[in-house]
Amino acid sequence: MPLKQTQDYLKQMQVVRFNALSNEKLITPKGIRTTAKDWYEALNLTYKPAIVFFDKLGNEIIRKDAFFKQYHLHSIMDYVLSGAYQQQPNFQRYITERSDKLREKGIEVDIWL
C-alpha cells in the first residue's frame, strides 16, 4: 500500500504530534490540562513513536504502541475512520475480516510491508 493511502487517511483525522519527553503544555481529548510527558506516562505508553486514536468524545479507541508494518497501520486507521470499532471491538478479528474482504476483491494483502 503506497504512502498516498497513509496521507489520505491522515487527511481525514485531526492529528496532534508532540515530544513525549517534553514539558510542553497541552489539553487532552478529555479536556485535561497537562504536559506531554505527564500525559504519555498517564497513558502508560511504552514505545516511541506511539499513536493513540480517540473518538470525538475523547475516549481511546486503539493505540499503536509498538512497531507495526504499513498494512497494520492502515488497518488501524481504517478501523477508526470507518467506525468499525463500534461493531467489532476486537481489532485482530477486524483485521482478519478486512484482509479476507480485500482478497475477495482481488487485492493482494501483504502484512509484511
CB 53 within 8 A of CB 16: no
Residue 34 CB-density burial (10 A; 0-12 exposed, 13-18 middle, 19+ buried) = middle
Beta-carbon count within 10 A of 113 CB: 12
Give the pLDDT score at 2: 66
Residue percentage of the chain with pLDDT more than 90: 75
DSSP string, 39-97: HHHHTT--SSS-EEEE-TTS-EEEEE-S---HHHHHHHHHHHHTTGGGT---HHHHHHH
pLDDT (tens digit per residue) in 5-15: 889 999 999 99
The pTM score is 0.74
Tell me the domains of the chain and their CATH numbers. Answer: 3-104 (3.40.30.10)
Residue 87: pLDDT over 50: yes
Residue 1: pLDDT over 90: no
